[in-house]
Chains A and B, each alone.
Chain A
Amino acid sequence: MSSVDSAIAAKLKRKLKHKPKPKAGIAAAKPRKHRLHLPPADDAATAGIDLTSMSPAMVDRLFWRAGFGPTEADRTQWTGAPVGAVVDSLLGSASTLAGTAGTNSGKALDPTNEDTDLVLSRVDQMVRSTTPFVERMKFFWHRHFANSRDSVSPPQLLLQQNDLFQKYSDFATYPTATFSQLAHDITVNPSMLRYLTGEDNVKGAPNENYARELMELFALGVVNLNGQSNYAQSDVTGLAKAFSGWVINDANPDAATSSFDKSRWYDGPKIVFGKFANLDSTSGVDLVLGQPNHATFITRKLWLEFITQPPDAATQATLNSTYASAGTQLKPLLKYILTHPALFTSIGEPDMIKPPVVYVVGAMRALGVGVTDSTAADFLDSMGQVPYFPPNVSGWEGGLAWLNTNTALARFGFIGQLLSKGKITDAGATETPAAAYSRAYSAVLEPWLAPATQAAIQDYATRAGSSSSTLRIERQIMLRALMLAGPDAQVM
């Protein structure tokens, strides 16, 4: 960013900071006008971005990309603060749950006996978490090392795996967590051994399932950025032998473990990546993580979790060196990504589609609705993303594919359900259309809406009937639905 840009941004920021908060009522009918003052995003990718003093839009962006959307408190606390301070907070806050535990139609969630409750338990954690970033990271690992309840029983294995992911997501408690250790852990994780049939991988009958996915999906990718293969079939074959011998002990599902049975292990030399050695699971994983494309593969995937545009070559190099020099530690890498100006491109017009889980949890948090029935699980199903039920080992495709006519209806319908759970009152016959708009906007935590979208919704407010209490309440419900469930609410 040029110094001129910084100066403009600082000026804008000062202007905003001193802008009085609009009173409830007419003044707020032109909400979040500050966004309109920002230069268009396509001018220069990060024009108007001041990393030393975050605008409200930047706070919103960061809390959506690294959480489930901002609270009013987040905006108050962090507007004007440097990005680094916010990110330090995200990476330095332990995971705790607030509020009362979710229920399903009056009954405590029973995730090990009811799959719907298993899904709801995950949603409940996300909705109640005081550190949404930790939940987002855990969910990232679930999508990266995708295991499905469809072929993992008992379900305790998945819950246990989720606990494992916590160690690589809660950087207050585990500040030096490394991807390397995660890769070793997940290789012999009971859920993974079951899902990718590693428990069937014995000497004399090698099972290539996990060896292939470790390289293809978890650590290397099929090809590098130049289109060259990262491994050959012979590497899969050799690595599979190295990974043989592991068994699951799940007689007590609540304390399932895996253990190495040497008699089932292929005890002999294997050739993997040209190395001739008697590899086992530990040295096998190390060998994979030592491959040239590993750093690029994993850092790029993490980058694209938070940032729309892929890193350029120079940034990729920095990502790789940040990752490697810290011995595959995750915290420094995440700090680099989350404080990168590229996170704030197109700041005036969000340009990433909210994954269903983020959309659902974000709306529940914004409206203060907890898990009390199966609504969230049902709608996540219609939207195409049920936690613990990824479609296959590569997780969910995501991106633009999240949205189609069926999922759009589900996304819109879900908000209607949430709104119907709350009590929306009539503010009386004197409430003007502008005041109705303002009240609705405030109630849904002032989400981003394009100026033309705001105008269209305000226009609705003026056209909507208001001659009776019923009509005014319907107007209020509609306003909130249009703000929280329309096309603009799908991006972050």
Chain B
Amino acid sequence: MSDSPLHNSADVKALKCADCARSDSLVSDLKPTDVMPIPADALAGFPDGVPRAKRTAHGHSRRAFMRNGLIGAASIYSATKLDWTSVWESAIARADGPMQKSIVCIYLNGGNDGLNAVVPIDATNFAAYNAARANIARVLGPSGGGKVGTTVMGGTGGTMAFANPLVSGTGNNGDTKGFDTLYGDGSGGAGSDLAVFPAADYTPPNLSHFESRDYWFAGALQGMATGWLGRWLDAYGTMDNPLQAISLDSSLSKQIRSNKAPVCAIEGLNGAAFTVPNVKSSSPNSEVQKLAAVQASAGNVALARSRQIYGLTVDVSNRLHTLTTVTPGAGYPANSDLSRKLQLAATLLGANLGTRVITIDWGSFDTHGDQVTSQDPQFAVLSSALGAFKADLAARGIEQNVVTMVFSEFGRRVMSNDSLGTDHGAGGMMLVSGSAVRGGLASPHPGLTKLDNDGDLVVETDFRSVYQALIAEWLGGDPTQVLPGGPFAGVHRYDGGTQLMK
């Protein structure tokens, strides 16, 4: 991932174990079957129906799609050879229709420590936390940095708090746009849009990065070649639109690996703007836009073409940079790969190209050492990026159609190690965010006093029950057609509710 254009050194890298390095190379083994150019028009909503007219008139359809320029390429993974001309034609047709419900999956690479995000603060559990994590435990208290918040999470009976001040509210020294804002009062009603699963995993847990990630991606505990969303697409997706599922990466996430439904990977889009060296006080892009708006005389196709293309370039560039300009104060964290990928996700979803699934692989959570200094900044980014993403989607008028899921391959050992870090454990944290989501503590916390035989959290939620709920309540379809071994026990919220969605 280090050679990705989305990579930014500002993102913190944690100490990695050898197994994780190995799994990085194994998970991306699938080779694309084709590369589909992404026309600039796609992100501009196909102005003037340019490609269609050209196609019927001259039959030079491929050239017609590319003639206005490209903003990137999608690596296609498809069982059958697709004519990408017809892919874009159906995308154009779809863009006119209503947006379908979609899911964005953020995978926290390396095994995230949920206890450093949400922690029980009742006396018994907090004492156990302090004892187990003596060298990295946070102090309980609202004043000063580095404390666990005393503002308890609503809907938890007063026993849970956001453990990391960076992700909690002003009362807890954090910013105001992150997890706690999304979480709201935890009631699952309006404004309570973040569901927290403090210990989601499977039993018996497998503490290998590769094996465990494979299970999470596959949605199954036996060696399945396809991903859970890939199988959902096989059953309920289309057979002609690879844009229905997109990995924002150079390679495909196994989550959307399918048997027959076409899917794709898009590393990034090039929405470069017009710039002039040594000019900082003016915006060449907006001045060029004015020049491009001048009408050419009838019949002067060359000048009309030039102005159209200059205008299209500005338009695409603006669309790809909408976040900072269209959603003032949305506050994506600066210089982060996650911000860039979420902005790209928002742009692609906003273009309404029939996309149902977007996967994002982010971060470096294998915190065997120096956990606090490596995980905290990443959680600060994740927290405000999730808030910004939601605001961005809302500004585009599509937030009600998007749910975001955050997960990792496992949690971490309750007892910290001597390197100020934690080793591989069980019972990781899952988050599901969106205004359609019933926010709150979506499963009870297993507590720190009764651990499993390895000293890990007792798995409270089978991760497949969350997938099951996402299919049944959100994406649509029969979960048993997608998730082998089901049905699984349903969601059981702390407050007794059984619904994931509102």
A419 at interface by CB-CB < 8 Å: yes
B298 and A417 within 8 A (CB) = no
Q: When A403-B305, A487-B292 are in contact, do A346 and B287 touch as well, CB less than 8 Å?
A: no
Question: What mask results when residues 257 to 286 of chain B are scored 1 for a CB within 8 Å of chain A, else 0?
Answer: 000000000000010101111111110100
List, in ascending order, chain A residues with CB within 8 A of B288's CB.
412, 482, 486-487
Interface segment, A57-65, A212-220, A279-287, A448-456?
Answer: A448-456
Beyond A42-B297, A408-B310, A474-B280, whether A416 also contacts B275 by CB under 8 A is yes
> Please, which residues of chain A bring their CB within 8 A of the CB of B327?
none
Known: A346-B300, A349-B296, A404-B68. A478 touches B276 (CB 8 A): yes
Judged by a CB distance under 8 angstroms, whether B414 is at the interface is no
Q: Are B294 and A405 in contact (CB under 8 A)?
A: no
B297 touches A40 (CB 8 A): yes
Tell me, in angstroms, the Cα distance from A354 to B68 when the chains sit together.
17
Do residues A351 and B302 form an inter-chain contact, with CB atoms below 8 A?
yes
Residue A352 interfacial (CB < 8 Å):
yes
Instruction: Verify A465–B297 contact, CB threshold 8 A.
Output: no
With a cutoff of 8 Å between Cβ atoms, the chain A residues found around residue B297 in the complex are: 40-42, 346, 349
List, in ascending order, chain A residues with CB within 8 A of B481's CB: none
Near A by CB (< 8 A), chain B positions 61-77 give 63, 66-71
Report A204 CB to chain B, min CB distance, Å. 39
Bound-state Cα–Cα, A412 to B275, Å: 8
Chain B residues within an 8 Å CB radius of A481: 276, 279, 284
CB-CB nearest in chain A for B291: A486
A227 to nearest B CB, angstroms?
A: 15
Interface string of B288-312 (1 = CB under 8 A from A): 1011101111111111011101101
Partner of A405, one of B69, B296, B307: B69
Q: Mark A449-492, 1 if CB is under 8 A from B, else 0.
A: 01011001101100011000011011101100110001110110
Q: Tell me if A3 counts as interface (CB < 8 A to partner B).
A: no
Given the interface pairs A403-B309, A405-B312, the reply to whether A482 lies near B291 with Cβ below 8 Å is: yes
Chain B window 39-50, contacts with chain A (Cβ cutoff 8 Å), 1 for yes, 0 for no: 010000000000
Tell me which residues across on chain A come within 8 A of B70, comparing CB atoms. Answer: 404-406
Known: A405-B313, A416-B275, A478-B276. A464 touches B281 (CB 8 A): yes
Determine the residue in chain B with the shortest Cβ distance to A486.
B291
CB proximity to B under 8 Å, residues A381-424:
400-401, 403-409, 412-413, 416-417, 419-420
Q: How far is the CA of A346 from the CA of B301 in the complex (A)?
A: 11
A353 at the binding interface (Cβ < 8 Å): yes
CA distance A319 to B402 in the complex (A): 65
Residues on B with C-beta less than 8 A from A464 are 281-282
With A486-B291, A487-B307 already in contact, the answer to whether A417 and B302 are too (CB < 8 A) is: no
Q: Is B432 among interface residues, defined by CB-CB distance under 8 A?
A: no
Q: Indicate which residue in B66, B71, B284, B296 contacts A478 across the interface (CB closer than 8 Å).
A: B284
Chain B's closest residue to A309 (CB) is: B299
Whether a CB of chain B sits under 8 angstroms from the CB of A308 is yes
Give every chain A residue within 8 A of B306 (Cβ-Cβ).
Answer: 353, 403, 408, 487-488, 490-491
Q: Determine whether B316 belongs to the interface, using a CB cutoff of 8 Å to chain A.
A: yes
- What's the least CB distance linking A184 to chain B, in Å? 35
Q: Which chain B residues border A409 with CB–CB below 8 Å?
A: 272, 274, 313
B: interface residue count bin? 35 or more
Expressed in whole angstroms, the Cα–Cα distance for A215 and B270 within the complex equals 42
Query: In the complex, what residue of chain A is closest to B312 when comparing beta carbons?
Result: A405
A416 adjacent to B276 (CB under 8 Å): yes
Q: Does A350 contact B (CB under 8 A)?
A: yes
> Nearest CB to that of B316 among chain A residues?
A405
Contacting pair B284 A400 (CB below 8 A): no
Residues of A within 8 A of B66 (CB): 404
Contacts of B284 in A (CB 8 A): 412, 478, 481-482
Measured CB to CB, the closest approach of chain B to A117, in angstroms, equals 25
CB within 8 Å of A: which of B29-43? 40
- A residues less than 8 Å from B298 (CB atoms): 42
A178 to chain B, nearest CB (A): 32
Residues of A within 8 A of B275 (CB): 413, 416
CB of B296 within 8 A of CB of A474, answer: no
Asked if B282 and A474 make an inter-chain contact with CB atoms under 8 angstroms apart, the answer reads yes
Residues of A with C-beta under 8 A to B272: 409
Q: Judging by beta carbons under 8 Å apart, are B291 and A491 in contact?
A: no
CA distance A351 to B309 in the complex (A): 15
Q: What B residues does A308 contact at CB under 8 A?
A: 302
Judging by beta carbons under 8 Å apart, are B281 and A465 in contact? Answer: yes
Q: Is the CB of A406 within 8 A of B69?
A: yes
Q: B277–A487 contact, CB under 8 A?
A: no
Please measure, in the bound complex, the distance between the C-alpha atom of A460 and the C-alpha atom of B309, giving whole angstroms: 21
Closest to B280 in A: A474
> Would you give the 0/1 interface string for A429-465, flagging 1 where the beta carbon is closer than 8 Å to chain B?
0000000000000000000001011001101100011
CA distance A482 to B292 in the complex (A): 11
Flag A73-101 by CB within 8 Å of B: 1 or 0 each.
00000000000000000000000000000
| CB closest residue in chain B, given A463 | B282
The answer to whether A350 and B302 have CB atoms under 8 Å apart is yes
A474 in contact with B69 given A353-B305, A405-B313 (CB within 8 Å): no
| Chain A proximity of B219: nearest CB distance (Å) | 39
What A residues does B294 contact at CB under 8 A? 450, 452-453, 456, 487-488
List chain A residues, Cβ under 8 A from B69.
Answer: 404-408
> When the two chains form their complex, are residues B313 and A401 in contact, meaning their CB atoms are under 8 A apart?
no
Knowing A453-B291, A453-B294, say if A349 contacts B282 (CB, 8 Å). Answer: no
B67–A401 touching, CB < 8 Å: yes
Measured CB to CB, the nearest residue on chain A to B63 is A401
Interface centre among A349, A412, A459, A464, by most chain B C-beta atoms within 10 angstroms, is A412
- State in angstroms the CA–CA spacing of A413 and B312 once bound together: 16
Taking CB atoms, residues of chain A closer than 8 Å to B67 are: 400-401, 404
Given contacts A409-B313, A482-B288, A486-B310, contact A474 B278 (CB under 8 A): yes
Residues of B within 8 A of A473 (CB): 278
The 6 listed contacts between A and B (C-beta, < 8 Å) are A346-B297, A353-B306, A408-B69, A408-B313, A420-B278, A474-B280
- Give 11 new A-B contacts, CB below 8 A, not counting A457-B291, A481-B284, A490-B302: A401-B67, A403-B309, A404-B68, A405-B312, A409-B274, A416-B277, A420-B278, A460-B282, A465-B282, A470-B281, A488-B291
Residues of A within 8 A of B (CB): 40-42, 308, 346, 349-353, 400-401, 403-409, 412-413, 416-417, 419-420, 450, 452-453, 456-457, 459-460, 464-465, 470-471, 473-475, 477-478, 481-482, 486-488, 490-491
Closest 10 CB pairs of A and B: A405-B69, A404-B69, A490-B306, A405-B313, A487-B306, A420-B277, A405-B40, A487-B310, A487-B307, A452-B294
